[in-house]
Amino acid sequence: MQLNIYKDYNELSAQAANEIIELIKIKPDAVLCLAAGDTPRLAYTLMAKKAGDEKIDFTRCSFIGLDEWVGIPPQNAGSCRYFLQTTIFTPMRIATAQINLFDAMSADLDKECVKMNTRILEKGVIDLMLVGVGMNGHIGFNEPGVLVSNNAHVIDLDEVTQSVGQKYFSEPVAIKKGITLGLNQLLQSKKAILMANGSKKATVIRRALEGEINTEMPASIIRKHTNGIVMIDEEAASLLKSEPVIHKK
């Protein structure tokens, strides 16, 4: 695992955007799995701008959904789909055929999981997974205690996720379950980037990078990835005891 620490959120976001752009330059038909949430928001904005400015061709790549709140409709601004649509798909004119997201309104969520697992197998591999980390250490909606061997699954969201998740919604919502890719799919991706910023994530980053590797802290599993990169800003890195492997200004 590689650890890159950036001066601030702007620098971190610019580098994360570059990672995606550079991948698409060398592999235009790459399979991307990108998290929703506040952490990657600026990276996606910068990516969309750079792709437009430099005329990078995103018409052949495809997008795999990482996760979704069960029971939240796509038109709700707090849904992961709405976020990805408004920050990436609409600005970058990504065609519907390129997008594979969970339908968290489906009456048969197990079937949704099978569909997503099959879609990934058809694609062969996820070239890049870019994930955030929750205040409880979750990746996607892989909550503490989850099995590393999981592929897509439906999960009861823990209390931290249910309460922190309210920040995405304009009014209080019941978000008791999530549908998510599993940690097995994270580990099988060609490259995985875990992003975090801000002092609010410093404790979770310290536990993920310096604590035991187990699913009580799902983000620690990134250390098992053969091509995992942790990209964080100085605030998120502020509680790390050991010397960072790489320090970028």
Site for ligand F6R contains 66 (CB under 6 A): yes
| Residues contacting residue 143 through CB under 8 Å, at least 6 positions apart | 136, 155, 156, 157, 158, 161, 178, 218
Residue whose CB is less far from ligand F6R, 33 or 92: 33
Give yes or no: 110 in active site.
no
Cα–Cα distance between 45 and 86 in angstroms, integer? Answer: 10
Site for ligand F6R contains 80 (CB under 6 A): yes
Choose the catalytic residue: 4, 136, 151, 197: 136
Give yes or no: 143 in active site.
yes
Choose the catalytic residue: 19, 68, 127, 143: 143
Interacting positions 102-121 with ligand F6R (CB under 6 A): none
Contact assessment for residue 178 and residue 69, using Cβ atoms and an 8 Å cutoff: yes
Q: Which stretch binds ligand F6R (CB under 6 A): 23-31, 56-64, 125-133, 234-242?
A: 125-133
Tokens of 24: 């698409």
Choose the catalytic residue: 127, 138, 151, 235: 138
Position with the least CB separation from ligand F6R: 132
Please name which of 170, 161, 176, 244 lies closest in space to residue 206, comparing C-alpha atoms.
Answer: 244
Interacting positions 24-53 with ligand F6R (CB under 6 A): 35-39
| Residues contacting residue 43 through CB under 8 Å, at least 6 positions apart | 12, 13, 14, 16, 17, 20, 130, 195
* Number of chain positions touching ligand F6R (CB under 6 A): 15
Tokens of 197: 């910023």
How far from the centroid of its chain's Cα atoms is residue 19's Cα?
Answer: 14
Taking the complex as a whole, the smallest distance from the CB of residue 154 to ligand F6R amounts, in Å, to 15
Binding mask 192-211 for ligand F6R (x = CB under 6 A): --------------------
Helix ranges, 27-146 (H) = 41-53, 80-84, 109-123
Choose the catalytic residue: 67, 68, 127, 233: 67
- Give the binding site for ligand F6R (CB under 6 A): 35-39, 66-67, 80, 131-134, 138-140
Residues recognised as catalytic: 67, 136, 138, 143
